[in-house]
Amino acid sequence: MGEKHAIGLDIGREAVKCVVMSTQKGRVQVTKCVSVRLEVRAEAEAGEWRAAAVKALKELWAQQGIPEGAVAVTAPTAHTLIRALKVATAKLDQQLTEEAKQQLPFPLEQLDWEAVVVGTEGDQTHVSLAAIKKEITAELLGMLEESGIRVERIESGALALANVALHAQGGSCGTPVGILSLGATAANLTIVDGKKVWMRTLPVAGSAVVAGLAKGLNITEAAARDELMGNLNLAEQVENESDAVKNVRATMMRLVMEITRSLTFYKSQLNGERPQKLLLTGGYSRIGGLREFLADRLKMPVEEFEVFEKVGGGERGEAMLYGEAVGSALAAAGLAVYQLNLMPKEIVAQRELDRKKPYVIAAAAILMLTFAGLYVLAQGEKSRLEKVAKEAQAAADKARRYDGEIRRVEEQMRLEDAKSLNLRRVLWERELYPYLLRQLAGVMPSNAWLYGVDTVTFGEVHEEKRQTTTGRDAERLVIVDDPELLGRPVRVIVRGGSYGDGAWTEQMPEVERRLRALPDIAGMEQKQLARHKKYAEFDVVVDLDFDRNGTGDYEDIVAEAASRPTRRR
């Protein structure tokens, strides 16, 4: 059997990582690892980031000599929904879809999703489920198509990490381990115990840490990133440390809290043992002193994840960049323990049909030739001639039906592709995250930090009003069923913290005044406040005003919908 290649891609906010894996006669070897940095600003618009990513992919394929082979790409971590389910084994097939409906925050028809069994316990089956909104999938596939790259699989980054660990251990981890991939927009936490896998996405973004450090030290983001990776040491508590560095330390404490909370939930959900060590990977796992910092706070060994341990290739200093890309390459090569593909089902079906099409046509041609030969041999026998003619006609009709079905599916896919182009507008949400973090960071006091922004769509707000409004007010509610309006972001939930007991409460009126002065924001309301001994954590709901007319976008959409000839409730 000749040499085959599999390619794993990890397209991040700040870099594109590519791993090429060779398989031949049972031997697996990484032959190429390439990382291309995307030189875009943290607040860059989605279009600017997309152009940089496409350019990097094109150059990667043109200049690095990437061979022909199956390609798998990781889904964007910040947009991937991950759930761990426990379902009665006897009712797994019947209940899985219903469980997915209950666990996922969007209707299933809006998502590309798949689930995989990752363990059993008694009469219970443990299932890992991953999902991504269809418009995000369409944008990712559009980028790759524009770059001239045809992908076979879209992988969950968290499960890709589990597959790397399982492959290195021969299919089962003898002792439970945790794997943390810390990236620019979010973090993946994966726990592997034997063959059981548990995953969670953590809302800690490396790019937000860089932006906060740059602002606090009044330096460029590039300089802040160098400071974060090189000069700053989280393991050493420096006297008279700057507020900016303290904010980095506070964000990492938030990461510790998220990991601790996840380990507690994992134990209660899967009755699993606490991991005996934590393996670090991802671009921001190289923050100075992070391993020692986490080991001290989590009270467990923390080590670099040696992703090349059983597949060779790569350099030790590069391993932290390629964890999810290596896992994707294993999936593309068919060597992953767990196979979970987030590609749209209709595309998977179409490609399967494309693979079968030549065989169907060839089979029809063979049938036609066979019956034609029988016709020649049976010319002297009228009865046999008529029978052969009928059979040949039936075979030809069947072949034509196959060909007609193929054309119908191709036309349907063409129409679906056209529809997906219209859905790409939703990807402007990707702009909101870095843009709003920078806007909001500018109005926050020096003792406060931000670590997350969650988008809230018009549909989510309107549905909540529909369920909570009663009486004549409910009758007057405008019914909105336009997908474009329902999917438009109108609010964001900002999560952050502040040093000092009671300081945030005193500072909030001034923060609100500054916030209202920003051009794209209509107002704010505090949703939650948790006080701790030396600091407080807060959630703030911010109303967006991208029309810049002084009225929140939610009210503008309601007014727009009310002016249309539509029904009222």
What pLDDT, on the 0 to 100 scale, is given for residue 1?
54
For residues 5 and 22, the answer to whether their CB atoms sit within 8 Å is yes
Q: What is the pLDDT of residues 514-537, one digit of tens each?
A: 888 888 888 888 888 888 877 888
Q: What is the pLDDT of residues 184-196, one digit of tens each?
A: 888 889 999 888 8
pLDDT greater at residue 400 or residue 86: 86
Cite the beta strand spans of 448-520 per DSSP E.
Answer: 448-457, 489-499
Q: Is the pLDDT of residue 104 over 90?
A: no
Q: Is the pLDDT of residue 420 over 50?
A: no
For residues 163 and 21, the answer to whether their CB atoms sit within 8 Å is no
Helix (H, G, I), strand (E, B) or coil at 527: strand
Q: What is the pLDDT of residues 225-254, one digit of tens each?
A: 888 888 888 887 767 677 777 888 888 888
CA atoms within 13 A on the CB side of 56: 23
Q: What is the pLDDT of residues 116-126, one digit of tens each?
A: 888 888 888 88
Q: Is the pLDDT of residue 93 over 70?
A: yes
Burial environment of residue 520 by CB neighbours within 10 A (0 to 12, 13 to 18, 19 or more) = middle
Q: What is the rounded CA–CA span in Å between residue 331 and residue 221?
A: 35
Q: Is the pLDDT of residue 422 over 60?
A: no
Q: What is the rounded CA–CA span in Å between residue 390 and residue 210?
A: 75
Mean pLDDT of the chain: 81
Helical spans, DSSP H, in 271-381: 290-298, 323-332, 345-377
pLDDT category at 383 given cuts 50, 70, 90 is: low
- Least confident interval from 94-108, 327-341, 475-489, 506-520: 475-489
Q: Is the pLDDT of residue 359 over 60?
A: no
Q: Is the pLDDT of residue 26 over 60?
A: yes
pLDDT greater at residue 517 or residue 438: 517
Q: Is the pLDDT of residue 291 over 80?
A: yes
Q: Is the pLDDT of residue 134 over 80?
A: yes
What pLDDT, on the 0 to 100 scale, is given for residue 421?
35
pLDDT above 70 as % of the chain: 86
What pLDDT, on the 0 to 100 scale, is given for residue 295?
93
Structure tokens at 403: 């060909």
For residues 50 and 58, the answer to whether their CB atoms sit within 8 Å is no
Burial environment of residue 523 by CB neighbours within 10 A (0 to 12, 13 to 18, 19 or more) = middle
| Mean pLDDT of all residues in 382-388 | 66
Q: What is the rounded CA–CA span in Å between residue 179 and residue 196?
A: 14
Q: Is the pLDDT of residue 427 over 60?
A: no
pLDDT category at 317 given cuts 50, 70, 90 is: low
Q: What is the rounded CA–CA span in Å between residue 441 and residue 449?
A: 8
| Mean pLDDT of all residues in 286-292 | 88
pLDDT greater at residue 211 or residue 302: 302
Q: Is the pLDDT of residue 386 over 90?
A: no
Q: Is the pLDDT of residue 158 over 70?
A: yes
What pLDDT, on the 0 to 100 scale, is given for residue 300?
92
What pLDDT, on the 0 to 100 scale, is given for residue 376?
56
pLDDT above 90 as % of the chain: 13
Using CA atoms, how far residue 446 sits from 94, 244, 331, 509, in Å, is 54, 8, 46, 15
| Mean pLDDT of all residues in 367-390 | 62
What pLDDT, on the 0 to 100 scale, is given for residue 429?
53
| Mean pLDDT of all residues in 339-356 | 80
| Mean pLDDT of all residues in 388-407 | 72
Q: Is the pLDDT of residue 174 over 60?
A: yes
pLDDT category at 366 given cuts 50, 70, 90 is: low
What pLDDT, on the 0 to 100 scale, is given for residue 433?
65
| Mean pLDDT of all residues in 448-464 | 82
What pLDDT, on the 0 to 100 scale, is given for residue 388?
67
pLDDT greater at residue 52 or residue 376: 52
What pLDDT, on the 0 to 100 scale, is given for residue 426?
44
Q: What is the pLDDT of residues 211-222, one digit of tens each?
A: 888 888 888 888
First to last CA, the chain: 66
Q: Is the pLDDT of residue 371 over 60?
A: no
Most confident of 330-339, 438-447, 452-461: 330-339
Q: What is the pLDDT of residues 52-83, one digit of tens each?
A: 899 989 988 988 888 888 999 999 888 888 88
Q: Is the pLDDT of residue 111 over 50?
A: yes
pLDDT category at 494 given cuts 50, 70, 90 is: confident
What pLDDT, on the 0 to 100 scale, is given for residue 279?
93
Q: What is the rounded CA–CA span in Å between residue 494 and residue 546?
A: 17
